[in-house]
A and B are shown apart, each in its own frame.
Chain A
Amino acid sequence: MIEFHLSASSGVSPYQQLVQQVRRALVLGLLSAGDQLPTVKDVVAQLAINPNTVLKAYRELEHSGLVAARAGVGTFVTSTLSDSSRAAHGPLREELEGWFGKARRAGLDDESIEALFQDTFRNLDAQGVA
């Protein structure tokens, strides 16, 4: 069972953070098919947030096909990221490391690297590519 944490200053809304944390857990293999997500009650009891926030996050994950709610029982992971995409992780990670090396050698500091990455990602996202 994974545990959630919220960062108040991250600029990302709470429900988004929950969604991201589930996705991250799936990517990292902390969650696999059949695992149960923490119950809404347990999440709010730990984080002191509105239950609707958790419900919204779980609904979005369900909409993405990653989890399914079973009435009266809980919310369960239905699929992990496909093996093919898992397989792509290795080479993608290598490419990223190369890119980071290049950015460093060009003289960018951490903040500039992150800003560049975020900006590019968002633009691509807006264009519907990423």
Chain B
Amino acid sequence: MSAVLDASGLGKRYRQRWALRDCTLQVPAARVVGLVGPNGAGKTTLLQLAVGLLEPSAGQIAVLGGRPAENPEQLGRVGFVAQDTPVYSGLSVGEHLELGSWLNARFDVATADRRIDQLGLDRKQRAGKLSGGQRAQLALTLALAKRPELLVLDEPVASLDPLARHEFLQHLMESVAEHSVSVVLSSHLVADVERVCDYVIVLAGSRVQVAGDVEELLASHHRLTGPRRDVTQLPSDQEVIEASHTDRQTTLLVQTSGPILDPAWTVEQIGLEDLVLAYMRRAGDAGRTTQTKHLGSVK
């Protein structure tokens, strides 16, 4: 399977500031990809580049093998829900479904209708009067009904209450199971990402810090605790992501594909949240050159 998203050296600049820089990714298909990072790290920029709302300032990006928003066919293969789920507040829920069928060659009105009923939305109600959760569900229904191969969601649940968030993710996962659509969603809630994503990209400081299958990332990152020592003494295939020392003890987060043989270390598994935080902290150190890590080949 080819990559759903293939970026090389991708960058976007607004006047003087680079919102995204040196972004190189090959995201495999049939995944639910989580894009995590602090606010302002470039998540929205990357996603908007992927759907053609922005043009790159540097590098290139290919989505499903084509240039984003190149033509109606390409547009039809990618679904998008922007941050804050914009809807036409003057149009009703039903009219939004009509909008979908007018503006898309392939639009599954029947399924969308069923879903609207399931969600308990009133077709006649103006979209401007919907709650945040209802609006998000409407936007998701619209995006899924065009039967895209890739669905891109920009912080879809950021401003939703816990119940609305759970219901949104339920809807999303059910659709993924039913239609095997690839998903890329951005979030600053790692707990959600942990739940639904099987591939994660950490974006911090406008750069990709790490990207890979969640399973492989968790298998290759370990927390080592042991007596205080100098980190430059470690074997070369162990890369230190984060190190902290007390006067007696050293704690490291290392990435390695090989076994850890030194008996002085206590080796622990690490959770996704801790892994993400470590990479985000590493990026936060100003003035350090960061390396991009890619785990998991394109399958």
Direct contact of A and B (CB under 8 A): yes
By a beta-carbon cutoff of 8 Å, the part of chain A in contact with chain B is 8, 14, 40-41, 44-53
Interface-side segment among B124-132, B137-145, B190-198, B204-212: B190-198
Q: Is the CB of A44 within 8 A of B177?
A: yes
Extra A-B contacts (18), CB below 8 Å, given A45-B173, A50-B198: A8-B191, A41-B178, A44-B170, A44-B176, A44-B177, A45-B171, A45-B174, A47-B173, A48-B166, A48-B170, A48-B172, A48-B173, A49-B195, A50-B176, A50-B195, A51-B176, A52-B198, A53-B198
Chain B, 153-176, contact with A by CB distance < 8 Å: what is the 0/1 string?
000000000000010011111101
Bound Cα distance from A116 to B190, whole angstroms: 33
Residue B32 is within 8 A (CB to CB) of chain A in the complex: yes
| CB neighbours of A8 from chain B (8 A) | 191
| Chain B binding surface SS class | helix
Q: Is the CB of A51 within 8 A of B195?
A: no
Q: Is the CB of B191 within 8 A of A48?
A: no
Bound Cα distance from A47 to B170, whole angstroms: 7
| CB neighbours of B177 from chain A (8 A) | 40-41, 44-45, 51
| CB neighbours of B191 from chain A (8 A) | 8
Q: Is the CB of A48 within 8 A of B178?
A: no
Bound Cα distance from A53 to B170, whole angstroms: 14
Q: Measured between C-beta atoms, what is the minimum distance from B32 to chain A in Å?
A: 5
Bound Cα distance from A48 to B192, whole angstroms: 9
| CB neighbours of A41 from chain B (8 A) | 174, 177-178
| CB neighbours of A48 from chain B (8 A) | 166, 169-170, 172-173, 195-196
Q: Which residue among B32, B177, B191, B197 has the maximum number of chain A CB atoms within 10 Å of its CB?
A: B177
| CB neighbours of B166 from chain A (8 A) | 48
Q: Measured between C-beta atoms, what is the minimum distance from A71 to chain B in Å?
A: 15
| CB neighbours of B32 from chain A (8 A) | 50
| CB neighbours of A52 from chain B (8 A) | 198
Bound Cα distance from A8 to B192, whole angstroms: 11
